[in-house]
Structure 1
Amino acid sequence: MNKVPMTVAGEARLRKELEYLKGEARPKVIADIAEAREHGDLKENAEYHAAREQQGFIEGRIKEIESKLSAAQVIDVMKLPQTGKVIFGVTVELINLNNDETVTYQIVGEDEAEIKAGKISVTSPIARALIGKEEGDVVVVNTPGGEVEYEIAGVEHR
């Protein structure tokens, strides 16, 4: 099985969600199903069917998270040597040479990516172009709108 890179924060977030699903959501939906059963005829019992559907979602999500955690290779960027190179987990400040706008991204695992929070997937075109480069390098990224040139203004281990 291939290991999937994940940050320490990403692993903690998934473990917290798993704990919530197993410790709170699952017992609540089981209680909801039991209560709905007490109302009689299950064929026409909307509460029962809704609770069963919710149970299926919860169980599916538990299996998905457990699978992701078992395949995760957790990387603590703070323990890696600070070489100034762009690697998984670092935060990169980029200057768009086409319009002089500055953007900051952290390179994270696929499940952690959230562009609005400044987190991009290690498999994204921008991250793939940046990996291995150093502060001061210029990279060209192919985007749907054409090629964009970025200069790496800073690399931080956070």
Structure 2
Amino acid sequence: MAELDSTYFSKEGLAKLKKELESLKTKKRKEIAGRLEYAKSLGDLSENSEYQEAKESQIMNEAKIAELEDMLRRAVVVEHSASRGQVDIGSQVAVEDISGKRLNFTIVGANEASPAENKISNESPLGKALLNHKKGETVSAHTPKGVLEYKIVDII
């Protein structure tokens, strides 16, 4: 069983994270180093806005690298198995609300959530409500809009 501070990813999401981290460590660091060298060549660093901006970029880049490395250390790759017959991370789920409106979602780890792509976090109210339930079951999601009920129509 994964620890509570685990970060869940699909294979694709983990690959994307690794690619972003590699880019920050190589391309972005090199670009910032070039900006710092140029700024140093301008002279007095105490009043050199180019230098200050490059240093700020460097600090932000290193913080992002540390954040991504931490996520990578805590990463747990989740492989969805539709044969289990219940909603888990990686499931594509079709639900209907009480008005009969059909919605389709993919349940993903929090770092891969993208409402525009219908990817909802396992930590979101609806994601939490759907987890471990089966086709035909009705779940209640406690949202800022109140309690919303959804019937699970299909799990892919």
| TM bin (shorter chain) | over 0.9
Shift of 1:76: 2.1
Aligned residues: 153
1:96/1:81 CA distance change after superposition, 3 Å: closer
Runs of 4+ with >3 A deviation: none
Q: Which residue of 1 aligns with 2:55?
A: 52
Change (3 A) 1:144 1:119: same
The answer to whether residue 118 in structure 2 is matched with residue 155 in structure 1 is no
CA distance in 2, matches of 1:11, 1:114: 15
Q: Which moved more, 1:135-144 or 1:29-38?
A: 135-144
Change (3 A) 1:147 1:3: closer
Instruction: Give 1:25 deviation, angstroms.
Output: 0.5
1:32 partnered with 2:51: no
Which residue, out of 57, 63, 72, partners 1:69?
Answer: 72
Please give the alpha-carbon distance, in whole angstroms, between the structure 2 residues aligned to 1:57 and 1:153: 44
1:39-69 CA distance string (max 9 Å, x none): 0011111111110100111111111101100
Partners of 1:144 and 1:57 in 2: how far apart? 33
Question: 1:67-146 alignment to 2 at 5 Å?
Answer: 67-77=70-80, 80=81, 82-97=83-98, 99-146=99-146
Question: Which structure 1 segments of 5+ residues have no match?
Answer: none
Identity of aligned residues (%): 34
Q: Aligned to 2:96, what secondary structure does the other structure show?
A: strand
**TM-score, with normalisation over the residues of structure 1?**
0.91
Aligned-pair RMSD on alpha carbons?
Answer: 1.3
TM-score under structure 2 length normalisation: 0.92
